[in-house]
Structure 1
């Protein structure tokens, strides 16, 4: 049965955060130092320095993420790893805690998006992708001020205890270019289709580090991050959904490509 979005394999890989980071790291995309713990008693790699961040290796929607996910010493680390493995019945992912600003960047399209889209002008002439405005997630006034947690994500936009969603984010042009490029590369390297959204956070020196990718981003109007990004640039919700459908229909051979009028060469 035809469906929108990525194939099963890509969705499975993206849910495995350790595997995703290995793929990105091996293809020279910037990620923070990380290590997966299966038993909990493995020695910590010497390049991992406190504070560290601990979360389930194969969950989404912020599961297992709260202020206790940030650990500052060996005792806290081992206690949190034990909690994650015991509570979620899966490995714990430990990585350097990134103290900087957090962003999420959506991309949509494919090489021939202009042939099937209802809005071909949305898509880049060279690669066929649309980069949405960057959304900054400021959790400083949320229920978990240091992290974008499951509890914070459950709050409605504007509700007390919810993060501040700033879109478009106030960033320098060079950083904006990097964030959008990394999100596009993250999408391509995993073989994602139609649409995805990549979370990126800055390290202590202001360098972007990829956190994870959502190959099935939420599409709840006025709530989901991708919908907030689309709204910020004037894309109506119905147009967003219809274009995702058109991209998938074209890929499945259910839609004839539109005629493109090309200017004659001089």
Structure 2
């Protein structure tokens, strides 16, 4: 991208859920303020818009879509589970240009079996898989396996018990997912190899930021060697403290080139826009795509922020580049 424009006006849209604890609300507010200040310090006019109830369209109705680019940091409509795609749908209907992926791509990302089919059809390596809506696992005979909720994000439903090594464990975990989350279970072969989180940005001309490796070397139990909800979000927990984030990841040039090829192909096949993160595991010379994250979290502690810093971008510059990518779709702010 050419030189970034720092005068683009931004509506920073985020959710502030009433059911969150005071500590959770405070942490979210601090993250929003950090992002807003980082953009504002570069010159972007900023208005912060908190969504605190289900009336998103009403909340946005006082703003003119012609005068703003929305930085979409709204992960759901409060009180409506799995509503991140609906946030985009409301803005699309109202004519707002916003950062990140469209309603259709966000909806795809919540349907893990559909994502797997897209990857298979594009001949992109991904672990063998099946979907079960009853605990009857039929002829599944690949172990170790990992059991996921078919329609969740943010590692919800993922814990050490997600790794299973026998039919009995698999049946129990499938039953748990179905009963606890009221949705089918996605079962995959568990790739017990190196894990890389790979941020991509751009539209048309796309590029991968430096790969980030999740270092599980301190964890010897196979059931701990995955990025669970606890490992991501519970500061001070054993897993949070045991997993290191290494950037740039150390790979031979040929392996890095293959990783980049697979990551960029995945970004394109799934329709990601502006930015995204493709999570990959590496075993026996093969990179397997294990998750696709349009609109990944980009608070200052996340892998994409670290990757952008390695590439020479400050936090504000990273966020500004995302705004500039969206601006190319705006009727007045496009170049």
CA shift, 1:161, in A, is 2.2
Matching residue of 2:29? none
Matched, 1:214 2:293: yes
Paired residues of 1:201 and 1:211 also in contact (CA < 8 A): yes
1:170/1:191 CA distance change after superposition, 3 Å: same
String of CA shifts for 1:4-34, please: whole Å, max 9, x gaps: 1111110110121111011111110001100
Matched, 1:232 2:310: yes
Q: Which has the higher helix share?
A: 2
Q: Secondary structure at the match of 2:98?
A: coil
Cα RMSD after superposing both structures: 2.0
String of CA shifts for 1:156-188, please: whole Å, max 9, x gaps: 599962520000001111111111111111111
Once the two structures are superposed, the pairs formed by residues 126-137 of structure 1 within 5 Å of their partners are: 128-137=205-214
Q: Which of 37, 41, 55 is the aligned partner of 2:148? A: 55
Matching residue of 1:109? 202
Q: Which moved more, 1:97-106 or 1:150-159?
A: 150-159
Matching residue of 1:249? 327
TM-score normalised according to structure 1 size: 0.84
User: C-alpha distance in 2, partners of 1:3/1:249?
Assistant: 8
CA shift, 1:53, in A, is 0.9
User: C-alpha distance in 1, partners of 2:334/2:143?
Assistant: 55
User: C-alpha distance in 2, partners of 1:177/1:158?
Assistant: 35
Q: Which of 128, 138, 147 is the aligned partner of 2:215? A: 138
Matched, 1:154 2:233: yes
TM-score normalised according to structure 2 size: 0.67
Matched, 1:23 2:124: no
Structure 1 gap segments, 5+ residues each = 112-127, 258-266
User: C-alpha distance in 2, partners of 1:174/1:97?
Assistant: 24
Paired residues of 2:212 and 2:248 also in contact (CA < 8 A): yes
Matching residue of 1:122? none
Number of corresponding residues? 237
User: C-alpha distance in 1, partners of 2:181/2:192?
Assistant: 26
CA shift, 1:231, in A, is 1.2
User: C-alpha distance in 1, partners of 2:309/2:292?
Assistant: 21
Q: Secondary structure at the match of 2:241?
A: coil
Q: Secondary structure at the match of 1:58?
A: coil
Q: Which moved more, 1:148-157 or 1:231-240?
A: 148-157
1:56/1:149 CA distance change after superposition, 3 Å: same
Structure 2 gap segments, 5+ residues each = 1-95
Q: Which of 163, 179, 188 is the aligned partner of 2:268? A: 188
Matched, 1:177 2:248: no
Paired residues of 1:54 and 1:95 also in contact (CA < 8 A): yes
Matching residue of 1:35? 130
